[in-house]
Amino acid sequence: MLVAAGAVEDAAHDPAAEFLVAALRSGVSIHQPTLTFVEVGAAVARRTADPQIAAASVAELLRLPGLVMHSLDLAAAAEAAALAGQTGLRGADAVYAATAMRTGSMLVTLDRELLERVGPAVTSMTPADWIRASAGPGS
């Protein structure tokens, strides 16, 4: 979602960018596994074929207010592996879900498969749903 938020040509840009702006304005912490650096750098490099833009994107991520990074250490990897085994999640998706589970955070994602597979193990929703929920009743 972080890549989509920064890529205006991405079909998911609008909801991803709206979520990111709303989350930053609300002051919530944004918990991410360190895997995020690799995924953002790789996705931007593939899209742009420009290693400098990829490096700049990762550097920008580091400056994101409210960002809390969580190392993918042995315990975190074991939790992600167990969650993947229970839910059938792909490897990286399991790391994101396990990070949310471990930190008691909401998993906000554009990935429908991740939303469906994570089930009750992790509280999850789309960016649009998060914005609606954050706006409160009657908004």
* pTM above threshold 0.85: yes
Check whether 139 has a pLDDT greater than 60.
no
Is the distance from CB of 119 to CB of 83 less than 8 angstroms?
Answer: no
Give 82-122 pLDDT, tens digit per residue. 999 999 999 999 999 999 999 999 999 999 999 999 988 89
Question: Which pLDDT value is given to residue 124?
Answer: 96
pLDDT of residue 119: 85
Q: Which residues, in sequence order, are CB contacts of 94 under 8 Å at separation 6+?
A: 80, 81, 83, 84, 87
- Residue 118 tokens read as 């994570």
Q: Classify burial at 109, counting beta carbons within 10 Å of its beta carbon; exposed 0-12, middle 13-18, buried 19 or more.
A: buried
Q: Where do the domains of the chain lie, and which CATH numbers do they carry?
A: 2-135 (3.40.50.1010)
